[in-house]
Amino acid sequence: MEKIQLQNQAPATPHPIVIAGALVQGKENYLTIGAYGGMAIQPPVIYISSMKSHFTNAGIKETGFFSINVPSARMVKETDYCGLVSGRDTDKSVVFTSFYGKEKNAPMIRECPINALCKLVKTVKLPQQ
């Protein structure tokens, strides 16, 4: 088979789907993130990519915190649902059992096997195509 060279595209590498959690106007909200890049540099920095129009972004900017929650394969319906509906119109706080760390900065999902509380360090605006 002949090799295909990608032009001006990110490499096709697998990335886990994650669910970002944030307090938006004082209410728990969750957003499925397909563009989770993982960790970069030291100290550990987790980066996510979210379109400007997503409702959860307002909460992240407002509080300066968000959570990253890695769902199990059994959570595919809930994960998909959180990516299909907007927190502007739907109360997604009832989809999961939320819990908080000591500081109560951002909701995390008890049903997810991996959770991380993250502090917003920098927002990078990328060019739109």
**Residue 72 counted as domain residue:** yes
Cα–Cα distances in Å, from 45 out to 6, 117, 129? 28, 11, 26
Between CA 63 and CA 3 the distance in angstroms is 47
Residue with the two structure tokens 């199990």:
72
**Residue 83 counted as domain residue:** yes
* 127 or 25: which leads in pLDDT: 25
**Residue 87 counted as domain residue:** yes
Between CA 98 and CA 1 the distance in angstroms is 49
Between CA 86 and CA 1 the distance in angstroms is 43
Give residue-wise pLDDT tens across range 30-82.
Answer: 999 986 766 666 777 877 888 888 899 999 999 999 999 999 999 999 999 99
Choose among 26, 1, 113: nearest CA to 68: 113
**Residue 54 counted as domain residue:** yes
Instruction: Give the pLDDT of residue 88.
Output: 93
Give residue-wise pLDDT tens across range 68-122.
Answer: 999 999 999 999 999 999 999 999 999 999 999 888 999 999 999 999 999 998 8
**Residue 63 counted as domain residue:** yes
What CATH code is carried by the domain that includes residue 30? Answer: 2.30.110.10
- Count of structural domains, the chain: 1
pTM for this prediction: 0.83
Give residue-wise pLDDT tens across range 16-26.
Answer: 889 999 999 99
* Confidence label for 5 from pLDDT (cuts 50, 70 and 90): low
